[in-house]
Amino acid sequence: MKGTAFQVATLVVLALMLAARGQELVEVPPEAPAAHGGHEGIPVEGLGELSGFLAGLFGLLGGLGGGLKPGAAPKKWREDYQCGPDYPAEDGNPAECDPDGIYPCCSPYSWCGITPDHCDCPGCTDYREPGSGTGPSFRSTDAVEGELTWRNDNRCGWGFPAEGAEEAECNPNGVFACCSPYGWCGVAPEYCDCPGCIDYGHYGVRNLGCYTDSKERMMSHGPEIFRNTLTNDICLDYCREMGYAYAGTEYYEECFCGTEEDFARNLEGKEILYESCDTPCVGDDPSITTMCGGAWKLSVFKVGSAK
């Protein structure tokens, strides 16, 4: 049983109330007769009852105190990615979102996520520290350390150099963190969630589009089944941690990982209509429009840099 600060405080108040009641029993008027051979003015039965209550109470307090690890503050967020006033965290307060996790923002519908519908909307709450973003900026291979890799005019990509990069990125800590295939930084799906889009706020993830899969499997690792929990972010993080350069989601809950060789041999040049990947990710909030592939269809991503 894990006690909370609220429970401990409540029990302390009860202890004080009982102690006050005991004081009333002990401090009888001097003229009152002694009872049953006890000390003058102190009812033995009252002291026994009070001692029993207090012993049990302070024993419970000791047990609760043992369950609280010294210096370990309760988490302010939940493992099920729910947030807001209807979903309490360990400390009893409305759950927040992990500011250092992959889902740092709370949507008005009480789900943690990373899309504009979670971070940049009326009622959205972004729990990241101002300017922290979701992790280190994805830097181009030609990026110059200490110099900005994005521009002030929101242009990006080929033909738009920045101070620290031949091809400008988008500010990973700003509102417009995604570069569209047409060279503009923005935040809508046509900037962040489309073939050729690059999300610099999410470690430089590149959306490569939709591809037809087969029984021979186009990626060498998988499927890993994330039953009832899969999102593209979860698959990307899994493949990145496994050391793969590509990630693919398929049919609601399947995650595949691939190498540069897999892409060159099986995927490159075989892209199909983006709309063919039409199954929502089983772990996403229903308001999120990003898809996790389809029936024998892969949503394919370049995983970007490590966190």
Taking only the tens place, the pLDDT of each residue in 199-243 is: 998 878 999 999 999 999 999 998 999 988 899 989 998 999 999
pLDDT at 52 over 50: no
Q: Categorize the per-residue pLDDT at 292 as very low, low, confident or very high, splitting at 50, 70 and 90.
A: very high
More confident residue, 43 or 265: 265
pLDDT at 244 over 90: yes
Output the CA angle 20-23-28, nearest 5 degrees. Answer: 140
For residue 159, give both structure tokens. Answer: 């033909």
Q: Which of 96, 103, 107, 102 is nearest to 74 (CA)?
A: 96
Mean pLDDT is lowest, of 52-61, 91-100, 239-248, for 52-61
> In Å, what is the CA distance from 151 to each residue of 33, 157, 182, 191, 199?
91, 11, 15, 16, 16
Q: Which of 254, 257, 281, 279 is nearest to 267 (CA)?
A: 257
d(CA 249, CA 229): 12
Q: Which of 278, 242, 271 is nearest to 258 (CA)?
A: 242
Check if the beta carbon of residue 264 is closer than 8 Å to that of residue 208: no
Query: pTM here?
Result: 0.50
Give kind and range of the element (H or E) at residue 247: strand 246-250
Q: Which of 163, 156, 240, 140 is nearest to 196 (CA)?
A: 156
Q: Which of 79, 76, 81, 75 is nearest to 111 (CA)?
A: 81
pLDDT at 9 over 80: no
> In Å, what is the CA distance from 117 to each residue of 106, 175, 209, 276, 296?
9, 12, 21, 23, 29
- The per-residue pLDDT for 14 is 52
- DSSP SS3 for 46: helix
Mean pLDDT is lowest, of 12-16, 54-58, 110-114, 263-267, for 54-58
Q: Which of 287, 301, 273 is nearest to 109 (CA)?
A: 287
**Placement of tokens 């740092």 in the chain:** 104
pLDDT at 5 over 90: no
d(CA 22, CA 27): 9
Output the CA angle 118-120-126, nearest 5 degrees. Answer: 65
Average pLDDT, the chain: 75
Residue pLDDT, tens place only, 256-280: 999 999 999 999 888 999 889 999 9
- The per-residue pLDDT for 297 is 94
CA–chain centroid gap for 261, Å, is: 32
Portion of the chain with pLDDT greater than 70, in percent: 69
More confident residue, 197 or 286: 197
Check if the beta carbon of residue 221 is closer than 8 Å to that of residue 256: yes
Angle between helices 44-67 and 5-26 (to 10 degrees): 170
Give kind and range of the element (H or E) at residue 54: helix 44-67
d(CA 216, CA 294): 16
- The per-residue pLDDT for 259 is 95
More confident residue, 233 or 7: 233
**What's the whole-number mean pLDDT along residues 72-101?**
86
Residue pLDDT, tens place only, 122-174: 678 888 765 433 333 333 444 455 688 899 899 999 899 998 889 999 988 77
Check if the beta carbon of residue 256 is closer than 8 Å to that of residue 216: no
